[in-house]
Amino acid sequence: MRALRAGYLVAAAVTIFGAVTGRERLQWVAKPLLMPLLAADTVTGGAELDPVDRRLLLGSLAAATVGDVLLIDPDDDRRLVAGASSFAVMQTGYSLLWWRRGARPRAQIVAPRVFAWAGAAGLLRAKAPALAVPLTAYGATLGTAAALASDPGLAPEAKNVAGLNIPNGDPRSRYGLGALLFTVSDGLIVLRRLFARDDRTRRLSEGAILATYAAAQYLLTAPPTRS
């Protein structure tokens, strides 16, 4: 494992620990380091990236950094909406990146994500109407990126089960799992906002959100060449 990616895992562990234990100061120290560490690994890791792909990836990670900082306080709805806007930029960048690498939408992959998006949108309209429009719009960018990341064309040698590429030795086969974990993380954000009532539940759910998010970003930023 490369040193910068190892550093990312350490920063992620500290961030998760800070969330679960209510030590926000730890999150302020560690969470803003996450995406810069992945960005630095992209620049120095030795993978041959097309210059446009590199700019898209670095721009996406920069947008994610803004979102990470905004969501250190996940109970402020204004910061939640602003963070979702930042992550919408990131998801759009990822979509363009997957598209440039040959991914295309496929009906059997898109359909379940549309149903999930519609279900989440309905839940938001019923339970948190003030958040419904911005978070539903963000969900569309998430679903687009996730559908492209799971295209079998990205990793032709990987087995595809139920619209998900099963990771193998090709790092591109990990993008679909990364996108799925990102979807789980964002789904947990919605559930936390709507249903978590006590401090312990909010902290534990925030830990789960951050763990799935950190794993997702680690997989989504895997170099496109074999390890």
Q: pLDDT in tens for each of the 227 residues of the chain?
A: 689 999 999 999 999 999 999 999 999 999 999 999 999 998 887 667 889 999 999 999 999 999 999 999 988 999 999 999 999 999 999 999 999 999 999 998 999 889 999 999 999 999 999 999 999 999 999 999 999 999 999 888 899 888 889 999 888 899 999 999 999 999 999 999 999 999 999 999 999 999 999 999 999 998 776 54
Is 28 part of a structural domain of the chain?
Answer: no
Separation CA 35–CA 30 (nearest Å): 10
DSSP E strand stretches across the chain: 160-161, 164-165
Q: Is residue 33 part of a domain?
A: no
The amino acid at residue 143 is G
Q: What is the mean pLDDT of the chain?
A: 93
Residue ranges making up the domain that contains 140: 51-220
Predicted local distance difference test score (pLDDT) of residue 43: 85
Place of tokens 């991914």: 103
How far is 12 from 62, CA to CA, in rounded Å?
Answer: 17
The candidate with the shortest Cα–Cα distance to 42, out of 171, 209, 183, 178, is 171
Q: Is residue 21 part of a domain?
A: no
Structural domains counted in the chain:
1
What pLDDT does residue 225 have?
A: 67
The answer to the question of residue 197 being in a domain is: yes
- Check residue 42 and give its pLDDT: 87
CA distances from 92 to 13, 52, 59, 142, 209 (A): 27, 14, 10, 8, 21
Domain assignment present for residue 42? The answer is no
Would residue 34 count as lying in a domain?
no
Tell me, yes or no, whether 64 lies in a domain: yes
Q: Note whether residue 36 is domain-resident.
A: no
pLDDT at 150: 92
Which tens digit of pLDDT belongs to each residue from 91-112? 999 999 999 999 999 998 999 8
Rounded to two decimals, the pTM is 0.94
- The predicted structure's pLDDT at residue 38: 96
Give the pLDDT confidence score for residue 160 in this predicted structure.
Answer: 87
